[in-house]
Structure 1
């Protein structure tokens, strides 16, 4: 069950990143294309080339009819959702930055207590945020508030707060439970690049000399 949840979490974050990237790319290309076509219309008018001017004007007004005003708002919403669920993913994988200089100087038993206290404090805080967020979304649901461009119900936009915070609270409790049993915290190697270990092993096993490599 936890493996399914982990997979869904990763798929959701990856999908949000992909969709936001595509939308930003299309919006930027659309904006700069309008500028280039406007310059082309001016250039063709200076050349008094009726065919080129008519062609560029057709493209310009055709592209201008495509309304992408909503793109910025949608990307902001996607990044908010991405940040909330990404924070929960960070707790699970141990990629959040932490200052542990003092904790590492403590005796093992005291260090374990402080780590557990920190994890439980994180769970308490995110649990409170999830509760307050759920209450806020509940009240927003009974209003007619909508987003300016997409006209989405605002309760749907703010739903990321209770859902993301609840998942983050669960991840804190999950890590705390695992730490209490094993004494190990999830750790992410920021210098690790996927695929490099396999490549290094393949090079080491290769019959070629170091000079050939």
Structure 2
């Protein structure tokens, strides 16, 4: 069950990043294309190139007819959801920035105590934010308000706050439970690149193969 939750969390974050990037790219490309086509129209009209003027003008109005006014608001919504669930992912994988120089200098018992205090404080804070967010979402549901550029109820937009906060609270409790059982915290190596272990292992296997020519 936890593995399924982890996978859904990763898929959601990846999907939101991909969609936001794609929408932003298309929106920017449209603006630059309109600017370029406007230059083409001006040039062809100044030099009386009729066929080029007609093609440029028709293409300009076609690209302009593609309504992407909603793109900015949708990207903001996607980034809000991505940030909330990304924060929970950060707790699970240990990628949040933390200053633990003093904590690591303590003796094991005191270090363990302070780590539990920090994890408990994180769980309490996110639980409070999740509860307040749930109350706010319930209020927005009864107002019936929708987003400005897209016809999406605002309670769905703000639903990221309680869902992401409660998931983050669960991750804090999960880390605390694992730490109590194993004494280890999740740690992320910022110099690590996924897939490099397989490449290194393949390179070592090839180098150790008797068919590989040796240097003399």
2:125 counterpart residue number:
125
Say which SS state the counterpart of residue 145 (structure 1) adopts: coil
Instruction: Find out whether 1:67 has 2:67 as its counterpart.
Output: yes
CA distance in 2, matches of 1:134, 1:194: 36
CA distance in 1, matches of 2:19, 2:184: 35
1:195 counterpart residue number:
195
| TM, length-normalised to structure 1 | 0.96
Say which SS state the counterpart of residue 187 (structure 1) adopts: coil
What is the Cα deviation at residue 194 of structure 1? 1.3
CA distance in 2, matches of 1:15, 1:111: 38
Instruction: Find out whether 1:81 has 2:78 as its counterpart.
Output: no
Equivalenced residue count is 211
Query: Where does the alignment leave 5 or more consecutive residues of structure 2 unmatched?
Result: none
1:160 counterpart residue number:
160
What is the Cα deviation at residue 151 of structure 1? 3.0
2:25 counterpart residue number:
25
RMSD: 1.3
| TM, length-normalised to structure 2 | 0.94
Pairs within 5 Å for 1:36-115: 36-115=36-115
CA distance in 2, matches of 1:2, 1:21: 29
Query: Where does the alignment leave 5 or more consecutive residues of structure 1 unmatched?
Result: none
What is the Cα deviation at residue 101 of structure 1? 0.6
CA distances 1:113-136 after superposition (whole Å, capped 9, x unpaired): 100110010000000000000000
